[in-house]
Amino acid sequence: MIVTGILALATGLAYTALGVITVHELIRHRRDRGFSHFGLSFAVMAFTCGTHHLVHAYRHLVLREPAHGPMQAAMAIGAVPAVVFIALRLEAAFGGRGDRLVRNRRAFELLPLVLVAAAARPCGRPCATATMAVDLRALLPNIVLFVNYALVGYFTARTQLARRPLLDGWSLSGVAMSGVFLTCAMSHLVAGLLTGSNPAGVLFDNVGVPASIYFMWAVYRLNKDSERDWNRRPLVGRAAPLGRRSPWAEANS
């Protein structure tokens, strides 16, 4: 319970910080680069996801609600790519590179096994005793969030795989971004299945639904090159004019 609450608190604060940084960049570059659908949709997504996790932190740390093993596992697994992505994003915000090229081709090939091992430890006995009392008020919005964020993770993961031969390595920020949204999707699915609803949770999860649709739409448009946006390499490295590669760009711009 305490561990899950702390993980939820840290994740919620991290998403909120990312939203603040993104809004700052949108305001800073609004005159010379114009409007960015990706930037705005990312900021809205970050604030709603941050609130979602902060509500869970409040429920576990203040209301003392028990945490099921699958929820603890989802939070623990999601913390790995989140820490990497946020560290790179903060580095970029302070003028650093904001990305690394990992040339070791096997560096991420064992990642699925690592994630399974990380999930096995907290899941053990609590998984077997978890009660599957599904609350539709919590389930329905989280199902939509699961689908939308899984699609975002799919777009970024597919592109990383396509670009690996071209780059002769992996973009650490791109892999981390994909991991963030794939694990975020799983967290929403677990939350919808295993946690009951409360007024704040229902409110912010339903607000997050249109935010996730907007964000997924912006990612899809950039993925298909049908949207001209100065965030063509969104949230990866330092800001630069149009022509940067994005985590889903399969060829050099």
pLDDT digits (tens, 9 = 90+) for 27-55: 887 777 778 888 899 999 999 988 988 98
Q: At 65, is the secondary structure helix, strand, or coil? A: coil
* Residue whose C-alpha is closest to residue 44's, from 56, 34, 55, 52: 52
- Average pLDDT of the segment spanning 59-84: 81
Please report the pLDDT score of residue 73 as a whole number. Answer: 79
Question: Model confidence at 213, in pLDDT bands (50, 70, 90)?
Answer: very high
* Residues above pLDDT 70, as percent of the chain: 76
d(CA 229, CA 235): 13
pLDDT of 225 over the 70 cut: no
Contacts of 57 (CB under 8 A, 6+ apart): 5, 6, 8, 9, 12
pLDDT of 70 over the 90 cut: no
Bigger pLDDT: 127 or 207? 207
pLDDT of 114 over the 70 cut: no
pLDDT of 228 over the 70 cut: no
Please, what is the end-to-end C-alpha distance for the chain in angstroms?
A: 47
Measured in whole angstroms, how far is the alpha carbon of residue 49 from the centre of its chain?
8
Q: At 226, is the secondary structure helix, strand, or coil? A: coil
Q: At 237, is the secondary structure helix, strand, or coil? A: coil
d(CA 65, CA 60): 5
Please report the pLDDT score of residue 43 as a whole number. Answer: 92
Pair of tokens at residue 145: 């969030």
Measured in whole angstroms, how far is the alpha carbon of residue 19 from the centre of its chain?
12
Q: Mean pLDDT, the chain, as a whole number?
A: 76
pLDDT in tens, 196-206: 777 888 888 89
Q: Which residues of 93-123 are buried (b: 16+ CB within 10 A; e: fewer)?
A: beeeebbbeeeeeeebeeeeeebeeebeebb
Note whether 63 and 73 are within 8 A (CB): no
Please report the pLDDT score of residue 248 as a whole number. Answer: 44
Give me the residue spans of the domains in the chain: 2-223
Note whether 85 and 180 are within 8 A (CB): yes
Please report the pLDDT score of residue 133 as a whole number. Answer: 63
